[in-house]
Amino acid sequence: MPVSRSPAFLHHPSTARAYRCVCGAQVFFRNSACLQCGRALGFDPWLGQVLAIEPEAETGLWHAADPGATGEARRYRRCAQSDSPSLCNWLVVDLPELGPAQAPCSCAACRLNRTIPDLRLSQNHEPWRKVELARRRLVSQLIGLGLPVEPRSPDGSNGGLTFDTLASMQGQPLVMTGHLMGVVTLNLVEADDAYRERIRTSMNEPYRTLLGHYRHEVGHYYWDRLVRFDRSLWDFRALFGDERQDYGAALQRHYQGVQFDWRQSHITSYACSHPWEDWAETWAHYLHMRDTLDTAVSFGLSPDRFDVDAAQYDTAVLQGAAAAVDPEGFLTMLNAWTRLTGVLNELSRSMGLQDFYPFELSQTVVRKLHFVHARVAPFERVG
């Protein structure tokens, strides 16, 4: 059935990114304390808000300093990783019906971790902090979009998601960043800015970040969840290609050299290596767009008011079965994005930096982005 949805998220973001302490000071997603008044802060992922919180001496729990901030009488625990090198500031809602032995100690993001670096080694502390900050940003967006986010069971039977962060050891096989059956693996060295920039340059990548890695790899996970067994699989193949082609051989051909102008049909050169990678790159860019727009709107920016000569798209660009799913909302988002990035690119040039968003959106890429949107839209909370 066609989905009709107002583009209201351009006024009410799916994942809010601007927060204030009860004292009125601006606070941010990563903050554990207000720098102005000193109050403790915590992020409630289900409300999508950074809250000023106060301790309850008699219970060891916490509650919001502003009783109206949560809309109900919520009490919290701090994530067990709040005192670890990851400095997690997320909150765990206390459920009175669960006894102390059953109550989760870690937050919704940290419970997704299966393997973490050896934190007895001090050199792992700062890279781990960077990795976890990026991963928590990812998870907060997935929750904000209403997508299924639950920990993978030990045998993988529940179709859940889990993360392994590994460091390559001398004499051992190199850790490869990737995804397999709900397990996202990240090489800890990606948190080294100099290493990541060196690889980005050598591979001629316009963009390479920890958050980008995570958004790409969870794209593979959500392909399994949202496309693999869905009726949209045939539309996927018509648009992205047949994923049943040999994956290893496709990557080998890609690394031997791209033989055609990929910009006409793919968002990046890597996207043309295999339909799975095309989906994952497109998925990652969709999440980039949504989160950046959410941030802009959260801080009061209105891209529709920008005086910039940017490409604008109408319904003629959308084709296929997915076109019935929220075309108005998608095109409003897309056109806001082209205006916003036009301004942000100029701001980057003003600082002598590379473009903020160095990508081109061909009509084929737009249709692929809309295919992703059509998979995500049914999960979003309305109103």
Over the stretch 121-157, which tens digit does the pLDDT of each residue have? 999 999 999 999 999 999 999 999 999 999 999 888 8
Which residue reads 């996202």 in tokens? Answer: 184
User: Do residues 77 and 132 both lie within one domain?
Assistant: no
Domain endpoint, select from 42, 76, 107: 107
User: Do residues 262 and 286 both lie within one domain?
Assistant: yes
C-alpha span between 115 and 107 (Å, rounded): 16
Give the mean pLDDT of 193-219. 88
How many CB atoms are closer than 10 A to CB 167? 17
- Computed over every residue of the chain, the mean pLDDT equals 90
Bridge partner residues of 51 (DSSP): 42
- Cβ atoms of residues 130 and 207 within 8 Å: no
251 is a domain residue: no
Q: Indicate the SS3 state at residue 13.
A: coil
pLDDT score, position 72: 73
Domain endpoint, select from 107, 130, 154: 107
Give the mean pLDDT of 254-261. 76
Structure tokens at 233: 């699989």
- Cβ atoms of residues 20 and 7 within 8 Å: no
User: Do residues 203 and 263 both lie within one domain?
Assistant: no
Structure tokens at 141: 């967006």
User: Do residues 34 and 137 both lie within one domain?
Assistant: no
User: Do residues 139 and 154 both lie within one domain?
Assistant: yes
Give the mean pLDDT of 189-208. 84
Domain endpoint, select from 107, 134, 161: 107
Structure tokens at 204: 């001629």
pLDDT score, position 274: 96
- Cβ atoms of residues 82 and 19 within 8 Å: no
How many CB atoms are closer than 10 A to CB 186? 22
- Cβ atoms of residues 272 and 365 within 8 Å: no
pLDDT score, position 3: 40
pLDDT score, position 383: 43
Which residue reads 């949202």 in tokens? Answer: 226
Number of domains in the chain: 3
C-alpha span between 378 and 372 (Å, rounded): 11
Residue partners of 285: CB distance under 8 A and separation at least 6: 267, 359, 369
Give tens-digit pLDDT for 264-316. 999 999 999 999 999 999 999 999 999 999 999 999 998 888 888 888 899 99
241 is a domain residue: no
pLDDT score, position 321: 63
- Cβ atoms of residues 117 and 188 within 8 Å: yes
334 pLDDT higher than 80: yes
User: Do residues 102 and 119 both lie within one domain?
Assistant: no
C-alpha span between 192 and 213 (Å, rounded): 13
334 is a domain residue: yes
8 pLDDT higher than 90: no
Residue partners of 169: CB distance under 8 A and separation at least 6: none
pLDDT score, position 12: 79
Domain interval for residue 144: 114-226
Residue partners of 276: CB distance under 8 A and separation at least 6: 220, 223, 243, 247
Q: Indicate the SS3 state at residue 213.
A: helix
Q: For the chain, first and last CA: distance in Å? A: 20
Residue partners of 346: CB distance under 8 A and separation at least 6: none
> What backbone phi and psi angles, to 5 degrees, belong to 344?
-65, -35
Q: Cα–Cα distances in Å, from 42 out to 27, 55, 78?
A: 11, 12, 8
Give the mean pLDDT of 229-243. 96
Q: Cα–Cα distances in Å, from 139 out to 36, 109, 115, 231?
A: 28, 6, 17, 27
- The DSSP code sequence of 143-185 is HHTT----BPPTTSTT--BEEEEE---TTSPPP--EEETTEEE
Give the mean pLDDT of 329-344. 94
What letter does residue 358 receive in the DSSP assignment? Answer: -
C-alpha span between 227 and 243 (Å, rounded): 11
pLDDT score, position 348: 96
